[in-house]
Amino acid sequence: MAEKRIKKENSSLSQELARASRSPARFQSGPGLTEELVVEISRQKDEPEWMLERRLRGLELWQEKPMPAWGPSLDGLELDRLSYFVRPNAEESRYWKDVPTEIRRTFDRLGLPQAEREALSGVGAQFDSDVVYHNLKKEWKELGVIFESMDVAVRKYPELVRERFMSRCVPIGEHKFTALHAAVWSGGTFIYVPSGVEVTVPMQAYFRMNSERGGQFEHTLIVADEGSTVEYIEGCSAPNYTTSSLHAGCVEIFVGRNATVRYSSIENWSRNVYNLNTKRAVVDEGGTIEWLSGNLGSCTTMLYPCSVLAGRGARSDALGIAMAGVGQQQDTGFKAIHLAADTTSTIRTRSISKGGGRASYRGLVQVGPEAAAARSSVSCNALIIGSGSGSDTWPILRTVRGDSELTHEARVGRIGTEEMFYLMSRGLTEDEAIKMIVGGFVDPVVRRLPLEYAVELNRLVEMEMEGTVG
Amino acid sequence: MTTIIDKKCETKNCPAGDCGTCRTCRTGCSNTKKALVLGWTEALRHRTVGTALASLPADLASTDGTVVFVPAGCRVEGPVRLADCGSPNGTLAVVAEAGSELTLLDTARCGCGDGPQQARLLIFVGRGATVRLTELRCLLEDQRFDGRIWASVNEDGRLKLFSGLLGGGHLNCRTEIALESRGAAVERYGLALGTENGHCEMNDTIRHFAVGTSSYIMTRSVLTDHASADWRLLTEIEPKAEECDGRQDCRTLLLSPTARAEIVPSFEIGTDDVTCSHSASIGQPDAQSLFYLESRGLPAEQARRLTALGFFRPLVERIWDDETRETVLGMIQSRLECRVN
């Protein structure tokens, strides 16, 4: 019964999303990327001169830099045929009722307004290139917390944005796709938490890429001042087209002294999306960054959130789950760069490959010359279901200091026949037994999520596991 | 029985005529068949050895070197020892036919001269054959060594390969081992004791091409002074190679604040029916162990030396015969006494 219900809900969700995707765009750029388009984006957004300069620098570097010579194949990505800027037919609003019906219905089905009422302090929603809804509860506004779309923040809070936007954390020329992102970025979230403020309930943004052959390039910038605490959750999805789409977002997080930022993202892009995302946090003295990264969708993912532990005693905890099904390649991992004394990092990942999919862990722990007594522990486990599926592990542990302590462990295997026998002898079908084992395998990650998200992730994992047998 | 194969005899006549210890003499064998030590030209003319050498990848083709050939069913008792300092360079090939067994200790290229060294080690393990090979190399400070190891293991063949590097030189070694047929197994052991400005760069790749193959890589490095070590391990399991087992265990102990290390223990797995695991660590001596030893009256340096020796112990215990084990332990101990004080 439960399975039927999930299937039915899933199919009706797909229909709703398909309907929403037919909503006409207000502006859609032609295929390809030109200087005129970059200038036009900046003009439409009424941006200050310094931002246009950064966009043009991004364009210049995009043209200069080669495609990555490592990692999964990006041959199916038709960069010359993508639309780099698509504005939905809606203005940003603080009231849910003002969002156009088609778009509102999409987010309603994704559970956004309900989540805001029940469990979140602020919510943002982005459709293609533009944010259509952004709201922060009054109590947090009064404490000086800022939760805005990135477009608005560039104009409204230049003193907070200008020095941090694609400079110290993720430089424009980091790689080809950060340069592209700098040139055409649009939308995303800006969060500022003042010194000493603890935001006790999470903020959330939902990104939806709707256009066929579209690209989404949202920019998220989080600044947590000294002693503050904030939790931010991102969800991502897109409808299925036969042509490829590109998501090249960028997340920059500045964790101040003794501040804590928890960043969670569940990326469930559809199977035609290339998800080439860049996420990085710079953590000051005594600060903590917690990453939680779930990658379920997209045909190819290359995503390696990175923590730069720049101040004494800074800490990074990363938890990741990746699921690769038919035709999917999830090339994910984490990086921890220890630059200061007494810094610690932990990385825990779980990956599942099934139906011919390939999940890979690619990670780096690096200890620099100033990082006395750095500690790091990495553990990655992979489950492979079905012949033809595959899994890779490429971890790097590197230190130039003799007083570092770095450990790594990994296990790769299939579902044990004994576990299956035990569950099936208790009356479970093979399908149910696999789902239960996979549920247990991802449990350490799911447990870290807020309840609503844990339920959603569990459901997504169950849906992904549908029909694994037979 | 230990057989000394003396390379000097290649150019001079063996003084004893049939001494049984030089490389032109045949090594002792438990049955009527004999293991042979052949020069390269001679080896190319040999029917089995010639075919094996002709099957080598083009970049490994050689014109000079030494070949140890063990015919089918021949079991050479005790370790055969290659122990001559005349030529640290060149190629050594080991060809073990079906059902044969050979234990080889190669210290021939250990502590020779101070010029750059280059060497190749090529191993063919036939069906059901067992080859155990230990190669030890000491490098002086600033001495360079570039090595290449290539091995092919056939059905139910067993290869146990131990490489040890000690000293302050620069070593770069690429190892490729192919598990070609069902049931082939390899145990790869690596030891590095880096001192002074020593640098050791090891690239090991093991490829599983067949069902039921297994591999185990175990490495231990201890680094003092400004020494550094990079271990890049890769276990590849092809889609058809089901029921495989691949394990990696790679540990580095840093005895000096200026020592550096990098470990990349990787897997590329193309099928679901495998059991693979790896663990890696980089760290210092355990403070509690040092305290325990010092509280029993040992000076700090000796406590550190003993801790380092204990760190190598699980690896050294894997060595298959007493003679080789004692040789390795002796070399580690004398090197630690020189450098850890």
Report how many domains make up chain B: 1
pLDDT of residue B206: 96
Closest C-alpha among A306, A133, A146 to residue A232: A146
Highest mean pLDDT among A78-92, A258-272, B2-16, B179-193: B179-193
Residue B143, min C-alpha distance to chain A (Å): 22
- The overall average pLDDT reported for chain A is 82
Is residue B334 one of the residues assigned to a domain? no
CB contact under 8 A, A405 and B271: no
Q: Select the residue from A412, A417, A420 to test the B interface by mutation, using most B Cβ atoms within 10 A.
A: A412
Residue A406 has its nearest CB partner, among B242, B269, B282, at B282
Q: Is residue A78 within 8 Å of A200, Cβ to Cβ?
A: no
Average pLDDT on A375-399 reads 91
Task: Please answer whether residues A222 and A254 qualify as being in contact, where contact means their C-beta atoms are separated by less than 8 angstroms.
Answer: yes
Query: So what's the pLDDT on residue B156?
Result: 94
State how far residue B138 is from chain A, nearest Cα, in angstroms. Answer: 23
* Sign of CA pseudo-dihedral A181, A185, A188, A192: positive
CA dihedral A422, A426, A429, A430 (to 10 degrees): 0
Could you tell me the CA-to-CA distances from B228 to B189, B254, B335 in Å, in that order?
18, 9, 16
Residue B159 lies inside a defined structural domain of this protein = yes
Q: Does B286 touch chain A (CB under 8 A)?
A: no
Q: Would you state the pLDDT for residue B65?
A: 81
Minimal CA separation from A349 to chain B, in Å: 14
Return the structure tokens found at B128. 């059901």
Per-residue model confidence (pLDDT) at position A95: 61
A 403-462 residues with CB < 8 A to B: 403-414
The values of phi and psi at residue B170, to 5°, are: -105, 120
> Mind listing the pLDDT tens digit for each residue in A287-323?
999 998 888 878 899 999 999 999 999 999 999 989 8
By CA distance, what is B239's nearest residue in A?
A388
Find the length of chain B.
Answer: 341
- pLDDT category of residue A271 using cuts at 50, 70 and 90: confident
Q: Residues A102, A203, A135, A120: is their CA dihedral positive or negative? A: positive
Q: Which residue of B has its CA nearest to A391?
A: B269
B143 part of a folded domain: yes
Q: What is the pLDDT of residue A363?
A: 93
Contact list in B for residue A356 (CB cut-off 8 A) is: none
What's the token pair of residue A70?
Answer: 């490592």
DSSP characters over A32-43: S--HHHHHHHHH
Whether residue B29 contacts residue B1, with contact meaning beta carbons closer than 8 Å, is answered with no
Q: Do A393 and B265 touch (CB under 8 A)?
A: yes
- What local confidence, expressed as pLDDT, does residue B159 receive? 95
From chain B, the residues in CB contact with A403 under 8 A are 254, 257, 284
Q: Are B141 and B198 in contact (CB under 8 A)?
A: yes
Is the CA virtual torsion A448, A451, A457, A459 positive or negative? positive
Of A391, A399, A414, the CB nearest to B282: A399
CB count within 10 Å of CB B299 equals 11
Q: Which residues of B touch A410 (CB under 8 A)?
A: 265, 267, 276-279
Both tokens of B335, joined, read 């090197």
- Indicate the pTM of the whole model: 0.82
Assess B44–A contact: CB distance below 8 Å, yes or no.
Answer: no
Residues A344-367: tens digit of each pLDDT: 999 999 999 988 899 999 999 999
Tell me what ipTM this predicted complex has. Answer: 0.74
Residue A368, chain B, CB below 8 Å: the answer is no
Comparing A92-106, A225-239, B37-51, the range with the smallest average pLDDT is A92-106
Cβ <8 Å between A402 and B256: yes
- A406 neighbourhood in chain B, CB within 8 Å: 280-283
Q: Is residue B169 part of a domain?
A: yes
Low-confidence residues in chain B, pLDDT < 70: 1-33, 83-89, 108-116, 340-341
What is the per-residue pLDDT across A179-223, written as a single tens digit (0 to 9) for each? 999 999 988 889 999 999 998 888 877 766 655 556 788 899 999
pLDDT of residue A252: 96
What DSSP string describes A338-362?
A: E-STT-EEEEEEEEEEETT-EEEEE
pLDDT at A461 over 80: no
Q: What is the pLDDT of residue A31?
A: 75
Cα–Cα distance list, A1 to A6, A195, A467, B7 (Å): 9, 50, 15, 79
Q: List all residues 6 or more positions away from B3 whose beta carbon is below 8 Å from its beta carbon.
A: B20, B21, B27, B28, B76, B78, B80, B81
Alpha-carbon gap, residue A359 to A361, rounded angstroms: 7
Q: Is B162 within 8 Å of B325 (Cβ atoms)?
A: no
Pair of tokens at residue A392: 């890779």
Integer Cα distance of A238 and A207 in angstroms: 8
Nearest to A387 among B261, B272, B284 (CB): B272
Residue from A330, A336, A349, A319 nearest A282 by CA = A336
Q: Is A391 on the interface with B (CB under 8 A)?
A: yes
Q: Tell me if chain A has a CB within 8 Å of the CB of B279.
A: yes
| Chain A with chain B: Cβ pairs closer than 8 A | 117
Domain housing B272: 3-285
Tokens 């079991």, located at residue: B75
Contacts of B242 in chain A (CB under 8 A): 387
Are residues B257 and A393, on separate chains, in Cβ contact within 8 Å? no
Task: Kindly give, in sequence order, each residue whose CB lies less than 8 Å from that of residue B304, ignoring residues fewer than 6 positions away.
Answer: B255, B285, B290, B340
Q: What is the pLDDT of residues A367-378, one digit of tens each?
A: 999 999 999 999
C-alpha distances out from residue A352 to A413, B21, B175, B220, B310, Å: 10, 57, 31, 31, 38
Whether residue B263 lies within 8 A of chain A, CB to CB, comes out as yes
Asked if the C-beta of A7 comes within 8 angstroms of chain B's C-beta atoms, the answer is no
Half-sphere exposure of A361 (CA within 13 A, CB side): 34
Contact B266 A392 (CB under 8 A): yes
Please answer yes or no on whether A399 and B258 come within 8 Å at the CB atom: no
Tokens for B322, please give them: 């007493």
Under 8 Å CB-to-CB from A258, ≥6 apart: which residues?
A226, A227, A285, A286, A287
> CA B204 to CA B47: how far, in whole Å?
31
CB B170 within 8 A of CB B198: yes
Q: How far apart are CA A57 and CA A64, in angstroms?
A: 11
Does residue B332 lie within any of the structural domains?
A: no
The predicted model gives A244-267 an average pLDDT of 91
Q: Which residue does chain B place closest to A400, by CA atoms? A: B260
Q: Which residues of chain A have a CB within 8 Å of the CB of B225?
A: none
Residues 220-259 on B with a CB inside 8 Å of A are 223, 239, 242, 254-259
Q: Token digits for B266?
A: 């990787």
At position B173, the amino acid (one-letter code) is C
The chain-wide mean pLDDT, for chain B, equals 82
The amino acid sitting at B105 is L
User: What is the distance between the alpha carbons of residues A284 and A164, in angstroms, rounded to a whole number?
Assistant: 14
Sequence-separated (6 or more) residues with CB below 8 Å from residue A460: A266, A268, A296
Instruction: Select from A408, A414, A418, A434 the residue whose CB has the most chain B CBs within 10 Å, as the one to mutate to test that interface.
Output: A408
**Domains in chain A: boundaries:** 2-465
